[in-house]
Amino acid sequence: MTASEAPLSIVFSADRNFSVPLGLAVHSLLKHAAPGRRYDIHVLDGGVRDDVKDVIDTWKSSHDFTISYHDLRQQFRSCGSGSGDFTAAMYYRFLIPDLLPETVHRALYVDSDVMFLQDCGELFQTDLDDYCLGAVQDVYLASLGDSVRHSRIVEDLGFPIDHPYYLSGQLLMNLDRMRATQAAERLIRYAETHSHLYRFPDQDIMNIVLEGEIKTIPYQWCIMPCFEKESLAGTFHTRLKHIPYGAAEILEATRCPALVHFAGGSKPDSTSPPPTQLEATFFRYRKETPWTQEPPYTPGYIKHAAQAASNDPERAKRTAAALMQCLRAVYPIPGAPKTFRILLNAYIRIAAKWQRIRRNKAA
């Protein structure tokens, strides 16, 4: 079946640290493009490396796409960053209705830590009616039980416990509707005044401001590898509450995913064997790119080591960056990344032990 002539608009967000993941995500998008498919790619640019941009440009000789970079590094500097490693770049997606031309009526926004496994044509056919967005509901939150959900949905956001809660990492945008309802302005205004109140600011703000304006899309558009084994075993759905995805959909989506999101701590670790088939696919795709000798993400053990070295978040972030430089330096040497991991894990254990000793002495 030949794809339609109209290009599909795909929007990524990435900064310098997510430059290689961006390249890998674009590679997977183009790899699964249907015959005749044209993509109009936009990047919400928080400092993407020039060498990665240059590699992506070389793919134009074999794939039909355009790509534009929108430098947004001066935006949202006053907004809160919530918990975790979030930066101001999380708010860039709010600007999409104004950044893209008015001749573009629909767009798919995705974070850059994703892997496409299907063409996007079918998703773009989704009837959004009068909804601003189509999004996947959060299965991770749905798996944690009512006490956690009560804390997040009722206490943090003020919704009933069974209220839908949507992920902001993949958004099918009805740009005409968003422009007509001034959705971008509403989101930005709320972020500027309330972002410091929320753990996951962009996602929480989206759920609050656009309550009743988001349509649930199939689970296959946001599969997380950490649930792959449970899902294939047919047990994951038994942990889910307050969510519309049933056992059959969970199983089928995991068998035939359209989009994989390596969200949060489920990033592929290039210094250890992949624990799931989805991560194995990620590394197989990476071999088709120039980035086989560069770790795409900061491994969790590096973040733990940086946190063990300092309780100061900014200093820990700088320490993690320095450790990543060390990992990149030894990465091409056979066996060195594994040794690096073992040494840092040993350091984490020693640092934790000394912290316990210091706390006991202080007590």
pLDDT tens digit sequence for 280-307: 999 999 999 999 989 998 888 888 888 8
User: What percent of the chain has pLDDT above 90?
Assistant: 69
Chain region(s) in the chain for CATH 3.90.550.10: 8-261
Radius of gyration of the chain (CA): 21
Cβ neighbours of residue 345 closer than 8 Å, sequence gap 6 or more: 301
Position 256, amino acid: C
pLDDT score at 84: 56
pLDDT score at 1: 43
pLDDT score at 225: 93
Query: How distant, in Å, are the alpha carbons of 30, 113, 137, 170 from that of 222?
Result: 18, 11, 9, 7
* pLDDT < 70 regions, the chain: 1-4, 77-86, 363
Query: Could you report how far apart the first and last alpha carbons of the chain are, in Å?
Result: 71
The neighbour count for residue 308, using CB atoms within 10 Å, is 19
What is this structure's pTM?
Answer: 0.89
pLDDT score at 63: 97
pLDDT score at 363: 65
CATH code matching the domain that covers 8-261, chosen among 3.10.310.50, 3.40.50.12160, 3.40.640.10, 3.90.550.10: 3.90.550.10
The answer to whether 242 touches 147, Cβ cutoff 8 Å, is no
Mean pLDDT of all residues in the chain?
91
Query: How distant, in Å, are the alpha carbons of 54, 256, 334 from that of 23?
Result: 10, 23, 24
